[in-house]
Chain A
């Protein structure tokens, strides 16, 4: 049976999705990247190996996320796609008439506007990561609550307090202040969710025409408090797809299927790649005053790819079989 693999390596999580020809998800994995993308991808593949027996044949691989190029070199990807397109593709597959995609991940948040199944506008957070998953993680840890429970507590709120959500540093001090005043924990957490939603809609969502159906995805969609805050703020129901946490990976798998359909074969290195040793090193090129930081990825000591140089001197010096970007 032919299956397709999508890998989304983000700042916080690494997600893998295996789907069949009919685009049904067979397996999905949600791993923490913990700053080691290569090791995490390998771990994911080892886990998949245990789940997939000989009947399954990986016929296409797509990568996305901030480590998409690195991952693509390592696994031998058929398609490398930015996360905005990947998320839109996945949302449009699951909810064909979707008009708005709200996506909040570990360190970025985006809004994608679709009309008639085609992206018509998008935005991504710029300099500020307030209100993304990392901040919720950190607050949950500070309050000693598992992040999974965090959102549920918000639902018990009777009277959400108003938290200043402009900046995560100020939000934290405001939360502490409200705690010391004696507000209940659920009220504070619900207030925080509302503040983050307000912040998202005013920054990322500024000037965008948010029409339903609205799909809310990304790791933060797991948070019931955030889901509730979004539907309250937008005054309409917000759809959270079953596989909300791995939508980027699903999009990458769908795109891989399309690519392979066109070109006929896959570049996937095969599961044996988990036994191979991948190393990266970086060095400062001394060719000119730019002093570019060049990154080199090697497999078993053989350089596979290089990038980071503005002039392309290092990048082009390798006849890599895979074209980056």
Chain B
């Protein structure tokens, strides 16, 4: 059986169920790179261009981790996933950067996904992808439909039943047959903003979600908010946000401001993220203007010390608890 390697980085946190089931239906075995560890980070930082943000550097490390373990590596180019919207330019250029890095790569599965003009581009991309395995279009489309169903389940788990991506992904990545589903308890809720590939990666987020849970909080992320609410909230901006990932963050931020059960918001951004330097500023401004929501901005990069993050988190938690106690 042919093995397809998927780097456990970037869009893994958004689309893994779709990819896994599509390749499986076409008869391939899917292999993931190891969860981020120090070796992967070091390799990524050494290979990537200096200007890249941490998640992009990390992607290099995950690609290297797969070499020798798989026949092919899946390296899609995501240009746009919605009409008149775009993915960050660094992510668009990622396949080229990887190929130019001098890493001895196995065969690559490449595809261009650009839905900026029409949704039909997605079906074309699926067919192009499928042809790496078979010429039978019917078989490809059947695999695609089944995979889409998986993806819907994954999104449902997050948006409707409040699960966090990392636990929900366990259903697909083979780490657990029973995901450690988060019970929706009456605990203070913290809104956590930030790209999935930053906040769900336990290594580079320095276990931020687990740390918050340990402190006694329930974590709510942008992925836990239904897409129509994100759209509606993001539309309140005077100008349309054309970065899909940024729009998700800003829509979530506006939504958190309205939710009485959210008692604080934390925004995590990676140092060197172009879109976030603008989106982050917008979010911070709106949060400060509202004056009612405790807000913490954390920047992470490969040099970030855990001590600084822990100090800020603890102080943030003290601040919220203190305020909460006084309100009662």
Pair A310/B207 contact, Cβ less than 8 Å: yes
A119: chain B residues at CB < 8 Å are: 315, 318-319, 322-323
Q: How many residues of B contact A (CB 8 A)?
A: 26
Q: Do A290 and B38 touch (CB < 8 A)?
A: yes
- The answer to whether B318 touches A83 (Cβ under 8 A) is no
Interface residues of B in 292-328 (CB under 8 A from A): 294-295, 299, 303, 307-308, 310-312, 314-316, 318-319, 322-323, 326
Is B284 at the interface (CB under 8 A from chain A)?
yes
CB distance from A223 to the nearest CB of B (A): 24
User: Could you tell me if B310 and A325 are in contact, using CB atoms closer than 8 angstroms?
Assistant: yes
A120 touches B319 (CB 8 A): yes
The reply to whether B311 and A124 form a contact with Cβ atoms under 8 Å apart is yes
- Contact A84–B207 (Cβ < 8 Å): no
Q: How far is the CA of A274 from the CA of B241 in the complex (A)?
A: 61
Could you say which interface size class chain A belongs to? 20 to 34
**Are B311 and A83 in contact, with the CB atoms below 8 A?**
yes
Among the listed B39, B207, B310, which residue makes an inter-chain contact with A289, where contact means beta carbons less than 8 Å apart? B39
Partner of A84, one of B203, B311, B323: B311
Nearest chain A CB to B207 CB, angstrom units: 7
Cα distance A325–B309 in the bound complex, in angstroms = 13
Q: Give the number of A-B contacts (CB < 8 Å).
A: 63
A126 interface contact, C-beta 8 A: yes
Per DSSP, are chain A's interface residues mostly helix, strand or loop, or mixed? loop
A325 and B39 CA atoms in complex are apart in Å by: 27
Shortest Cβ distance from A305 into chain B, in angstroms? 16
Is A118 within 8 A of B323, CB to CB? yes
**Does B152 sit at the interface, judged by CB under 8 A?**
no
Is the C-beta of A95 less than 8 angstroms from some C-beta in chain B? no
Residue numbers in A under 8 Å from B326 (CB-CB): 116-118
Q: Which of B207-247 contact A (CB under 8 A)?
A: 207
Q: Does A82 contact B (CB under 8 A)?
A: yes
A82–B288 contact, CB under 8 A?
Answer: no
Q: Does A122 contact B (CB under 8 A)?
A: yes
Q: For B308, what are the chain A residues with a Cβ–Cβ distance below 8 Å?
A: 124, 126
Does B318 contact A289, Cβ atoms closer than 8 Å? no
Residues of B within 8 A of A82 (CB): 310-312, 314-315, 318
B299 touches A126 (CB 8 A): yes
Interface residues of B in 94-117 (CB under 8 A from A): none
Q: Check if A85 sits within 8 Å of B295, measured CB to CB.
A: no
9 A-B pairs with least C-beta separation = A84-B315, A289-B37, A82-B314, A119-B319, A85-B318, A289-B39, A82-B311, A290-B37, A82-B315
